[in-house]
Amino acid sequence: MSVSAASPRRLKAQPVGVLLPLALVVLAILVAFTLVPGLIAPHNPIALAMSDRLKPPSLLHPFGTDEGGRDVFSRVVFGARYSLGVAIAIVFVSALFGVLYGALSGMAGGRLDNLMMRIVDLFFGFPALVLALAIAASMGRGLGSVALSLSLIWWPGYARLVRGEVLRLRERPHVEAARALGVSRFVILLRHIIPFVVQEVNVRITTDIGYALVAVTALSFLGLGANSPTPEWGLLIRDSRPYFGSAWWYLVFPGAMIMMTATASSIIGDALASRRPG
């Protein structure tokens, strides 16, 4: 590389340079938690041990224990599967559906596009909490209801993003050139538009996982999500409330996990965004 270190690109990349390794470490830890919780967690996350109720952090219980004597660290480790797993599922289902929907809408153009986007607005404007309440009421509370209600309000973001990109990209000269060669709409979408949309969508997915995690844990915290004794992070915080005065660790560690995960997702998303070509 050249010596001109003062290029705007490098200046922009600098703050990320400090945080990114930390975010990646958090990501690696989360991946490990999700894939092999049994190898990391020292204790059973569900089994009660009433003699160990609300013990402060120690070598045996690094995050302390809860009101049932369960190891909070083990519960946090196993909880990644639930909290993060559901968040990732929501984002991927939304992205898949939203990309398809948005791409079709953008390519269709005209009235159909208009109609499809009004439907998007309908879902977009719907308050998440009301929808979650309604779905929890009809399906029963649980992570399945949370995943469904959040997916329903999440996909329109992708549909809008992708439609906008498609509208922008289809005026590009190379798309026009492909059209001039008689390439079909479907192939144009697949080969000449989607590859450029994917970059934007990747950035969005990475950042969204953090937001979705916060939303999932928030719904659980409000009692609309996971049921005890599932070690879901939002539920841990909900269960910890009565003991906050005496057992700070019960609240602080799951909360810190949520915060760190959401922040890491945002930092990695930013890093991806600054690295994509115009």
Partner 1 sequence: MIVSVRDLTIGFRGDDRDLVAVDRISFDVEEGETFVIIGESGSGKSLTGMSIAGLQPRIAFVSGSILFKNREALNQPDAELRRIRGAEIGLIYQDPLGSLNPVWPVGNQIAETLTAHGLARPAAAMERAIEMLDRVHIPDPARVAAAYPHEISGGMRQRAMIAMALAASPSLLIADEPTTALDVTIKAQILELLAEVKREMSLTVILITHDMGVVAEIADRILVMYAGRIAEIGSADEIMLHPSHPYTAALMTSAMISETPAKQELNAIVGGIPGLDALPSGCRFHPRCPRAKADCVTAEPRRREFGAVEVACFHPIVAEAVAPARTGRGAS
Q: Examine residue 168 and tell whether it contacts partner 1 (CB under 8 A).
A: no
C-beta closer to partner 1: residue 197 or 251: 197
Task: Round to whole Å and give the CA distance between 224 and 124.
Answer: 21
| 43 CB-near residues (< 8 Å, 6+ apart) | 61, 70, 71, 73, 74
φ/ψ of 168, rounded to 5, equals -70, -45
C-beta closer to partner 1: residue 191 or 241: 191
Interhelix angle for 8-35 vs 248-275, to 10°?
130
Phi/psi region, residue 142 (left: phi>0; alpha: psi -120 to 50; beta: rest), is: left
Which residue in 10, 168, 185, 276 binds partner 1 (CB under 8 A)?
A: 185
Task: Round to whole Å and give the CA distance between 158 and 236.
Answer: 31
Residues 194-233 as x/- pattern, contact with partner 1 by CB under 8 A: -xx-------------------------------------
Is the bond into 127 cis (omega within 30 degrees of 0)?
Answer: no
β-strand partners of 249: none
Which part of the chain contacts partner 1 (CB under 8 A), choosing from 120-128, 129-137, 166-174, 218-226?
166-174
Q: Examine residue 25 and tell whether it contacts partner 1 (CB under 8 A).
A: no
Which residue in 58, 184, 228, 274 binds partner 1 (CB under 8 A)?
A: 184
Q: Which DSSP symbol is given to 191?
A: I
C-beta closer to partner 1: residue 168 or 241: 168
Q: Examine residue 56 and tell whether it contacts partner 1 (CB under 8 A).
A: no
Q: Smallest distance, Å, CB 222 to partner 1?
A: 44
Q: Which of residues 93-112 bind partner 1 (CB under 8 A)?
A: 109
Contacting positions for partner 1 (CB under 8 A): 109, 172-174, 176-185, 187, 191-192, 195-196
